[in-house]
Amino acid sequence: MLARSFAEGLGFKISRFSVGTAGYDPTDIAKSLPVDNTRTTLQSEIFSDTVDLVESPNTTGRSFYCRLQPTEANHGLGEIGIWGEVVHSPENPTEVGDFFLFALVNQPFEGNNDDYTYIYRIVVQY
């Protein structure tokens, strides 16, 4: 989608994030699995919400802060994705409003429970 924004004038915004219970090695939860770049969804999404804060640390990067409250996603977590929404598409106006997986990260197992608020910072450099 980033290439299409340069080539076609496609416009999109990053507005959502999701977490899931996959992404780590079930035989060794201290290890994450490699990311499959062909994926268009999380393997086992359990929670989704809006991105809490976006920062621009430099001219070619963005930081997305995503917060899980203590009562949200009380499972073992191993994958997090950020989602883009098409807001302008001169080549295909019917895709305006469509969501797509912009970035996916796998991590080692991380338990979440009622005592913790998790804040993920996802940095994208392009």
Per residue in 18-68, pLDDT (tens digit) is 999 999 999 999 999 999 999 999 999 999 999 999 999 898 899 999 998
d(CA 38, CA 122): 20
| Pair type for strands 118-125 and 28-32 | unpaired
Q: How far is CA 32 from CA 20, 22, 24, 26, 126, in A?
A: 13, 9, 4, 9, 23
β-bridge mates for residue 88, sequence order = 11
How many separate domains does the chain show?
1
CA distance 44 to 22: 6
Determine the residue type at 85.
Answer: E
Phi, psi of 6 (to 5 degrees): -75, -40
Least confident of 2-11, 13-22, 63-72, 81-90: 2-11
- At 69 the pLDDT is 87
Q: Provide the domain limits for residue 31.
A: 2-125
106: confidence class by pLDDT, cuts 50, 70, 90: very high
**Pick from 1-5, 28-32, 35-39, 100-104: least confident:** 1-5
Q: What is the spatial distance between Cα 117 and Cα 88, in angstroms, rounded to a whole number?
A: 35
Which residue do the tokens 């924004």 mark? 5
By C-alpha distance, which of 28, 111, 106, 31 is closest to 73?
111
